[in-house]
Amino acid sequence: MTSDSLDAARGAARIGPFYVTEGIHNLRDYGGYAVPGGGRVREGVLLRSGQHMEASEADLALIDALGIRTVIDLRGTSEREGFPCRRHPDFAAQVIAYDGETSNSPPHEGGGGQIVMTPQKARERMLAVYTRMPVNPAMIWVFREYFNALDTNGGASLVHCFAGKDRTGIAASLLLHVLGVHHEDIVHEFLLTNDAPTRAILERQSLPRMETHYGTIDPEALHNLMGVLPEYIETYIEKVTADHGSLDAYLETILGVDGVRKERLRAKLVA
């Protein structure tokens, strides 16, 4: 990153951890959290968001200024083809993505058939997403690559999916756990999605397709689909713990994050 780009990134308009954007939902820094021993997760190097199909020229300039050298795209092939990300002319980051599908038409993307989408049905649909995620071979592959990239690549990274809340939320939460962030802070970061000032962008991208399947959606049901609840992340952790004994055991045996890798990641990402 040049000095001019660094100055631009530092001067970018923010609302708390959220960068002000015109066509990217939920772009934010997920660093800054305290870890045992007095350190904090570095800021300016760990970014997360929704897709970039509607990124404006100003958004692309911001992404360029942030010095992102690795993009982990958690979407599947059909999502990437249907909603291709716009790129800055100077974009040169490594993009990591799975060759195939990573999800089964998540409810917030308009999948699941024509039903009346009540708040309870929306909650149940999303809990099913979080129950499947730990055992989904595609998500296991891409999460492993996410940790590989963070371990081996330099510079800032961006992890994103379609809405930047479920697959992305778990990716960020797993990393913060590895870095030693307290569970309450991890849940806090996960729930920040509900405060994103760009909800209108996600609704513009998703609501027409959702209403094709579900008709007019109750506001509480819409929140359950487009936002996140504490029980979403807890469901993921409970499934992992039931299958593997602990989140740390899952990280080591399934995602390849053993003690040595944890120490490397902490040395790189905690200051």
Residues with catalytic roles: 161
- CA gap 51, 204 in Å, rounded: 13
> Within a 13 Å sphere around the CA of 15, how many CA atoms are in the beta-carbon half?
10
**Under 8 Å CB-to-CB from 34, ≥6 apart: which residues?**
40, 181, 182, 185
Which is it for strands 68-73 and 14-15: parallel, antiparallel or unpaired?
A: unpaired
**Per-residue b or e along 78-104, where b marks 16 or more CB atoms closer than 10 Å to that residue's CB:** ebbeebebbbbeeeebeebbbeeebbe
∠180-47-189 over CA atoms, to 5°? 50
Nearest to 156 by CA among 43, 38, 45, 20: 45
